[in-house]
Chain A
């Protein structure tokens, strides 16, 4: 062979094989003819140059054409039997969509970094999961800091380029933009160098020039929503309680602050606290009494380690405490007080109360969606196996007609990739929808939670990668398998319809068994979570939920000082009780399931503490007739009444748990409890023991509690919550109640009434989220398994029609055939159930933390799950079995 011919034939390999086979020889001759005709090396070189240039344009064109042809062929094939692509896309959409949704949620809450420059240099000096306002003294590791402590650390600590503070709790504020109606927004107070320390660029304007400058930075979303992205927003005035603030900056579109899962509308300087939260002094510490309400972040100087920064921050913290506490307390208390320290955390991921709350549920959901993905994969594998067997004849025919194996594999792969892309798009859509449903459910547990579904590159890569991987893997294996078939043999076998592909059937059965096995823990989990939810919703609170409404009133934000507000609350109670429709009412500071609680060190008469941790009790301060009006029986003694006044003998009522813990074998009535604040102590005498009732948590044992009349207080009151029992319609009550209360003071902020059931809904929201989600996914997985079972049986029966025909010709009756097929299904399902039961037992531990009133090994739920699964399997196999029983034995045998 001349060299030119060899070279050109090598070049021809650039073309698709089909084209090369068809025209390769002709093209070679053409080139050789051209070369012969060309005189001299110059002209020959010109021929070569033209040919090679030509190659560059025609090779891609031919490949493109091939792909187009494959796609057209694939689409025609799909159109001919649309149920196959539909089930594949559905499986992918469900399996991957659910994973995308959870991954997106987890990515946003648990994994992502703050959208600021060099987030890995940020550290958190406080507890990232802590949020709220803690008042009083504190011990040990500090969760939140006071303003003065922060200020000292900011000034003294070494190793930071800056230290900033942010209000740990996101506030719901009513504001009024100049010239507009009042509106509810979310905001947070932050220190003056907040944006500088975070190193977050603003989209417009500037941040705070001084810590007390009356200005705000608004979020990009708020800017778009409220100001239509107008430049005139800068300079606009916003009234926030007693402060009038000028908008000076707009945050970057992606910036949401330092707390993951929250999206404030505006940021105001911390120094304005007295105007924004009037009546409180949260900027100064008094002795060891302090208001801890700030998350504190630092930005490390280059080269400074976490440990070094922690040591330096702790030194400054200790200094701040020593200065502020001075000599106001005894030496012993001083020692306890100064024994506090800061734990420094990596800050790149920001603070998050959602993170701690949702880590365990999300991990469980991750397991759930993982199982769904496996089920979807098994389903896909099964479908493709069945599909491959189904197409064996077509492939064999094409192979025998001279189609290349590579060409067929490419064709089959094109189908897979097409399905993968369609499935990938479908899973993004389902992912988006599931994510929406999930965040809606998360919001019920954490109303401040905010997260948008973002198609960020990680998630996109995750989804499409997974989709491609699954489809190509399950597309490639059967493609390799079928194209290897000996063409002639396969044609013959198919023609005769004997039992071939025994291996295929066996694999199909194993895959169905695996799907059943994986469905067991899913179903079981869904069942257990549903029962836990039901148990939680039915928890005996110790008082009736019927017609019980809650109303919070904070007189201090309306400008009342503590003595005046203490006088106001009973007066308001009188008015509430007189409102038509109210059968009884009282109030307490922390209320029912408000999330607010008080705990202090106590000394109980005649009780010796067993250690430092044995001295605490929770407490609340209440209005008159508190227990009677709530409906909590007093086991001993009496309720508070109007004779308990500021100047009279200080009294208290303890709960059953308190009596059992501190008064074993003794009568608590008449005994004294001293609440200890450093060197001060306030002593109350026990006049009653109330039956245990739930005020804060639905789960776990009731902790010891002690109640005092609000007129004989243990501490200053931050508003109270009225518990109002009504006989009629709650909605009808509100207008008359508002009228009656505002007749006393028009400026009193009155929020709407909340039913106790609604309040409790938030407590059970996480459980509801998991239960609903798991149930929905288990149902979908079950559907997939049913489709898989149906498909495999249909395929198997088609393959075995001779055998069944022979059986029937030999006298087997139709019901016998049905029974035979069902028996075989029962074997697969039974094996799946056994394996699945084992899986469920092994994975029960993961779920245990989320269960209530039911164990992970609950036999009733186990049996229930097995019955549901068996019923679905029975239903899915009945149809193919019936079809088999209707086979005409003569026909099948004739075909044979």
Chain B
């Protein structure tokens, strides 16, 4: 478990897959397949997480304290035993925010140099 004093920027930059997983878990708790679907939907199918990458990332994120596994299903109606649900921790949220800020900063740099069109 991370200590509260842990610096979220220490983990940056996050691997792309991890960032996608954090974003997918930002609005609600999800199981693996749901994370994968969310990422695919959000990116219009351009990012397809496979089982290996997904669970390898989950293993690391659990260890780093970015997410936690839930003991039971958060949806009372859905009691699919085989599903394991994950939730973003406070620390995970801070790390995701820090990563988003980092990416935003980079985008602004790119815009400033005219590499991509300025925001209207």
A308 contacts the other chain (CB 8 A): no
A23 touches B33 (CB 8 A): no
Q: How far is the CA of A29 from the CA of B33 in the complex (A)?
A: 8
A25-B82, A29-B33, A30-B32 known; A54+B59 contact, CB < 8 A = no
Which B residues touch A58, using CB under 8 A?
A: 52-53, 56
A26 touches B52 (CB 8 A): no
B73 contacts the other chain (CB 8 A): no
A51 touches B52 (CB 8 A): yes
Which B residues touch A184, using CB under 8 A?
A: none
B50 contacts the other chain (CB 8 A): yes
B82 touches A29 (CB 8 A): yes
From B50, B59, B83, B84, A50 is in contact (CB under 8 Å) with: B50
A33 contacts the other chain (CB 8 A): yes
B23 contacts the other chain (CB 8 A): no
B54 contacts the other chain (CB 8 A): yes
CB distance from A72 to the nearest CB of B (A): 12
Q: How far is the CA of A57 from the CA of B17 in the complex (A)?
A: 13
CB distance from A879 to the nearest CB of B (A): 43
Which A residues touch B95, using CB under 8 A?
A: none
Q: Is the interface of A mostly helix, strand, loop or mixed?
A: helix
Q: Which of B40-60 contact A (CB under 8 A)?
A: 48, 50-56, 58-59
A31 contacts the other chain (CB 8 A): yes
**Bitwise interface map of A from 14 to 44 toward B, beta carbon under 8 Å scored 1, else 0:** 0000010011011111110110000000000
A76 contacts the other chain (CB 8 A): no
Which B residues touch A62, using CB under 8 A?
A: 56
B36 contacts the other chain (CB 8 A): yes
Which A residues touch B55, using CB under 8 A?
A: 19, 23, 26-27, 30
Which A residues touch B53, using CB under 8 A?
A: 54, 57-58
Q: Give the nearest-CB partner of B80 in chain A.
A: A29
Which B residues touch A26, using CB under 8 A?
A: 32, 51, 55, 82, 84
Which A residues touch B82, using CB under 8 A?
A: 25-26, 29
Q: How far is the CA of A419 from the CA of B48 in the complex (A)?
A: 43
CB distance from B72 to the nearest CB of A (A): 16
Q: Give the nearest-CB partner of A69 in chain B.
A: B63
Which A residues touch B50, using CB under 8 A?
A: 50-51, 53-54
B84 touches A54 (CB 8 A): no
A55 contacts the other chain (CB 8 A): yes
A19 touches B54 (CB 8 A): no
Q: Is the interface of B mostly helix, strand, loop or mixed?
A: helix
Which A residues touch B48, using CB under 8 A?
A: 50
A61 contacts the other chain (CB 8 A): yes
Q: How far is the CA of A29 from the CA of B55 in the complex (A)?
A: 12
CB distance from B80 to the nearest CB of A (A): 9
A61 touches B32 (CB 8 A): no
Q: How far is the CA of A596 from the CA of B35 in the complex (A)?
A: 92
B58 touches A23 (CB 8 A): yes
Q: Which residue, of B36, B52, B53, B82, has the highest number of chain A Cβ atoms within 10 A?
A: B52
Q: How far is the CA of A55 from the CA of B50 in the complex (A)?
A: 9
CB distance from B45 to the nearest CB of A (A): 11
A27-B51, A51-B50 known; A34+B56 contact, CB < 8 A = no
Q: Give the nearest-CB partner of A37 in chain B.
A: B37
CB distance from A58 to the nearest CB of B (A): 4
CB distance from A880 to the nearest CB of B (A): 42
Q: Which of B64-95 contact A (CB under 8 A)?
A: 82-84
Which A residues touch B51, using CB under 8 A?
A: 26-28, 30-31, 51, 54
Q: Give the nearest-CB partner of B84 in chain A.
A: A26
Which A residues touch B32, using CB under 8 A?
A: 26-27, 29-30
Q: Which residue, of A19, A25, A26, A50, has the highest number of chain B Cβ atoms within 10 A?
A: A26
B36 touches A34 (CB 8 A): yes
A283 contacts the other chain (CB 8 A): no
A61 touches B36 (CB 8 A): no
A33 touches B33 (CB 8 A): yes
**Bitwise interface map of A from 793 to 815 toward B, beta carbon under 8 Å scored 1, else 0:** 00000000000000000000000
B59 touches A22 (CB 8 A): yes
Task: Return 10 A-B CB contacts under 8 Å, by A number.
Answer: A23-B55, A26-B32, A26-B82, A30-B36, A34-B33, A34-B36, A53-B50, A54-B51, A54-B53, A58-B53
The 9 closest A-B pairs by CB, nearest first: A54-B50, A58-B52, A27-B51, A23-B55, A54-B52, A58-B56, A33-B33, A30-B51, A51-B50
Q: Known A-B contacts: A23-B55, A26-B84. Give 20 more (CB < 8 A).
A: A22-B59, A26-B32, A26-B55, A27-B51, A27-B54, A28-B51, A29-B33, A29-B82, A30-B33, A30-B55, A31-B51, A34-B36, A50-B48, A50-B50, A51-B51, A55-B52, A58-B52, A58-B56, A59-B52, A61-B56
Give B residues with C-beta under 8 Å from A.
Answer: 32-33, 36, 48, 50-56, 58-59, 82-84
